[in-house]
Chains A and B, each alone.
Chain A
Amino acid sequence: MIVHQVLSGAGPVDAVTTQALVYRSLFEEWGFGGGEYAVSIDPRIAGRVRPLKSLEAGAGDVLVIHYSAYAPKLRAVLDLPNPKLLVYHNVTPAKWFWDYEPTIAVHCSLGRRQLPEFARGVDLAAGVSHFNAAELAAVGASRTAVIPILFSPPQAPAVSPPAGPPTILFVGRLTPHKRQDELIGAFALYRRHRSPEARLVLVGEGLTPRYAESLVELADRLAPGAVTFRSGISREDLWRCYQEASVFVCLSEHEGFCIPLLEAFHFEVPVIARPSGGVLEVAGDAAIVTDDRDLGMTAELIHLVVSDDELRGELARRGRIRLEDYAADEVAAGLRAAIEEVAAARRV
C-alpha cells in the first residue's frame, strides 16, 4: 500500500511534523510506501519532506492529511480522487493572537473556517483526542475516530529531583493561550509566600521575539532571577529539565492533546493543569486538574504537591498507569486499522 502524508507546514521541532515522521517509520515497518509533503517547509527538514506541488498520488494511494493550520493550496488536496484520512491536531482559536500577531490570527481563523470542508471531504476524520474528534463531528464530519498521539517514551529514566529548592516546569511555545504569564504570576506568589528559593523553567520558542521579551520582562519584574527561559534545546536537555523538575504546571487555555503531560508522567513529575481542550482526557486522574482562576490557589497547589510525599507518590503511580493507555502498540494498531478502513472503503 502507498500512503502519502500531507502537512500544512513542516519544521524540525514542530509536533505535527514529528508525528508524521513517527508515522512514516511505522509505515516502513508495515511495508507501506509513499512520502511526506507540505505546503511550507523549513530548510532544516527539506530532505525528509517534499513540496506539496510535487505530490503525484497514484489511483488508490491513501492520503493522510494532518490538519493543524491553514495553508494556501492545502485545500486542493481534497479535490484529489484518492481515499483520505484526516488527522486533526486542532487549530488554536484566533482570539489569542489578534493583539500580538495578527497574521497568525488570520491563519488560525482561516484554519477553523476551512475545517468543515476538510471534515466533510475525507473518508474518515480522526482527532488526536476525543476533544478534537468532537470538534470534527460538530462541523459535519460523517465518520469520526480517535487516533491519539503516538508517544514514544524517552530513553532517559525518571529520577528523583535533586535536593534543593523546588523547580517548577512548563514546556510549550511562548504564546498567549499557553498562559505562561499567569504561570509566572502564580510562581511569584509561591515564592513570596511559600518557597523564596524556588525556580521556574519555561521551555519553548517564542511566538514572536516581542512576545517572548514581554514574558521575560514580566518574570524580571515579579520574580527577578528566578525564571529561566530555554528554547531550541536538544531532546537530552529537555529530558534533563523534566528530571530536575519538582512539578509540571500547565495553565494553558487551549490544548488539542498536550504531549508534555505524557512526558511529565514518564518522568514521574506531578502535574497540575487546567482542564482546557484535550488536557482533561489525557491527564485522566493522574493530574490535579482545576479551573480555579485564583493564582493564589495555583501557588498553594504547587506547595502541596512539592511538600506532600504521599501525594507525589500517588500522582507518579497514576501517571505510569496513564501512560499505558497511550501504549504505542495500541495506538499504532488503531492508526493502521483506520488507514486500511479508508483504503478498503474505496475498493468496495
Chain B
Amino acid sequence: MKPEEAIDAARASLASARSEGAYGEDLEDWRIVPPERPSTELLLEWAIIEPDMDLVVSTRRLGAPISWVKRVLIHLIRQYTGQLASQQTRLNVHLMGRVGELDDRLADLTHRVGDLENADLVRRGVGRGAGTDGPGTPAGSR
C-alpha cells in the first residue's frame, strides 16, 4: 500500500470494524481531568495579601527561640514588608476589578447575543429558538 492510500484504508477498516461492534468505547472518561481552576471569589480572597504570623514557626526540636528570632526579624522589617504587601495588593485588587468587569460584560453580551438569535429565529418563523424566555424577547411576537 502507498502512504497516500493509508488514510482511506484506515477509515474503511475502522468503519468495517465498527459495523461489527468494535470500537464502541465511550471515550468520555479517557482523558485527564484538569485541576479545577480557582473561583473568582477565591481569587478575590487571594488578592488581598494577609500573611499569617502564626505560621512563622520553627518545627525543629527546641525551635521556640528560633521562632521568636524569626518574628522579631519580621517585626523589624515590617515597614518594608508592609509596603511590599500593599503594593502587590493594590495591583491584585485592580486586576481583579478588571477581571470582574470583563466577566460581567461577557455575561451581558452573551445574553444579548442569545436574545438577538432568538428574535431572529422568531422573525423567520422558525419558532422561539432553544432559549427560554429572556428579557429581550419581543413580547407577543408570535
Contact = CB atoms under 8 A, between A and B. Distances in A.
B23 interface: yes
A318 B2 CA distance: 11
Interface in B1-43: 1-3, 6-7, 9-11, 13-14, 17-18, 22-23, 25, 27, 30-32, 34-35, 37
Given A300-B10, A303-B13, A185 B30 contact: yes
B25 A301 contact: no
A200 to B, nearest CB: 14
Contact of B9 (A222, A287, A304): A304
B132 to A, nearest CB: 31
A308 interface: yes
User: For A210, A287, A296, which residue has the most chain B Cβ atoms within 10 angstroms?
Assistant: A296
User: For A214, A215, A287, which residue has the most chain B Cβ atoms within 10 angstroms?
Assistant: A214
Nearest to A296: B23
Contacts of A181: 31-32
Determine chain A's interface SS by DSSP, over half rule: helix
A218 B32 contact: yes
A99 B17 contact: no
B100 to A, nearest CB: 18
Interface in A272-324: 285, 287-288, 290, 292, 294-297, 299-301, 303-305, 308, 310-311, 314-315, 318
A295 B34 CA distance: 20
A122 B37 CA distance: 39
B7 A288 contact: yes
Contacts, number: 74
A295 B14 CA distance: 10
A189 B25 contact: yes
Contact of B35 (A99, A182, A301): A99
A222 B6 contact: no
Given A300-B10, A300-B13, A304-B10, A285 B31 contact: no
B30 A188 contact: yes
Nearest to B10: A300
Interface residues on B, range: 20 to 34
B52 to A, nearest CB: 23
B112 to A, nearest CB: 26
Nearest to B12: A300
A315 B6 CA distance: 11
Contacts of B3: 285, 287-288, 311, 314-315, 318
A44 interface: no
Nearest to B7: A290
B14 A296 contact: yes
Contacts of A318: 3
A311 B18 contact: no
A193 interface: yes
Nearest to A213: B32
Interface in A94-124: 98-100
Given A311-B2, A315-B3, A294 B14 contact: yes
A299 to B, nearest CB: 8
A243 to B, nearest CB: 22
A300 B32 contact: no
A316 to B, nearest CB: 11
A308 B10 CA distance: 12
Given A185-B31, A295-B27, A314 B10 contact: no
Given A189-B25, A297-B14, A300-B13, A292 B7 contact: yes
A193 B32 contact: no
Contacts of B1: 304, 308, 310-311
A218 B34 CA distance: 12
Contacts of B6: 288, 301, 304-305, 311
Given A98-B37, A288-B6, 7 more contacts: A214-B32, A290-B7, A303-B10, A304-B6, A304-B10, A305-B6, A315-B3
A-B pairs, top 9 by smallest CB distance, nearest first, are: A99-B34, A300-B10, A296-B23, A185-B30, A301-B10, A214-B32, A300-B14, A311-B1, A181-B32
6 contacts: A176-B32, A210-B35, A295-B30, A296-B17, A297-B11, A318-B3
Interface of A: 98-100, 176, 181-182, 185, 188-189, 192-193, 210-211, 214-215, 218, 222, 285, 287-288, 290, 292, 294-297, 299-301, 303-305, 308, 310-311, 314-315, 318
Interface of B: 1-3, 6-7, 9-11, 13-14, 17-18, 22-23, 25, 27, 30-32, 34-35, 37
